[in-house]
């Protein structure tokens, strides 16, 4: 029974660290940094997103207990022929990451602009008690790729 529940969970992207750049130097503890990560959409083959997040250094950052700020930037692009692996809902989570010890998480969610046949990705952070309105949006127009033929319609796959 537990196995059935696990298989029903939505697919989650795995992040790849691309690089980090120090923004604030700290003498005896890790620096504050900007980190750039890449994720492939787990349900839409041919789409990749890159996001940049600040990472706190200092003593709290060194021990993994610093609450990270909500500023995140996002860019998503078509990197090959688009193929939908399964049906999805508007606003389904593509990627989720904890941004504090307990309360805050960052999420990338996906939607479909059916009128324009465009995938829309939104990154935001939320907190159990007080969320943040800070967000970033990126769009991926679904285009034919090479000789792959006609591009699929996102409205056939995202409800």
- Dump pLDDT digits (tens) for 43-60: 999 999 999 988 876 656
Cα Rg, the chain, nearest whole Å = 18
DSSP 3: H
SS3 category, 60: helix
What are the respective helix, strand and coil percentages of the chain, to the nearest 5?
Answer: 10, 50, 40
Residues 61-87, mean pLDDT to the nearest whole number: 81
pLDDT band at 92, cuts 50/70/90?
very high
Among 17-21, 41-45, 103-107, 131-135, the range scoring the smallest mean pLDDT is 131-135
Distance set, CA 17 to CA 70, 86, 108 (Å): 19, 27, 16
Predicted TM-score (pTM) of this structure:
0.80
Residues 147-159, mean pLDDT to the nearest whole number: 89
């Amino acid at each position: 029974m537990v196995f059935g529940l696990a298989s029903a969970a939505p697919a989650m992207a795995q992040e790849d660290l691309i690089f980090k750049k120090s923004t604030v130097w700290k003498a005896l503890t890790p620096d504050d940094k900007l980190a750039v990560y890449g994720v492939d959409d787990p349900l839409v083959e041919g789409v990749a997103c890159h996001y940049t997040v600040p990472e706190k250094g200092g003593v709290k950052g060194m021990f993994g207990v610093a609450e990270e700020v909500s500023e995140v930037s996002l860019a998503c692009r078509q990197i090959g022929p688009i193929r939908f692996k399964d049906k999805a809902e508007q606003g389904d989570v593509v990627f989720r990451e904890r941004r504090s010890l307990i309360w805050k998480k960052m999420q990338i969610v996906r939607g479909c602009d059916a009128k324009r046949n465009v995938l829309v990705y939104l990154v935001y952070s939320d907190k159990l008690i007080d969320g943040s309105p800070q967000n970033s949006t990126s769009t991926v127009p679904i285009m034919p790729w090479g000789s792959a033929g006609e591009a699929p319609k996102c409205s056939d796959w995202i409800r």
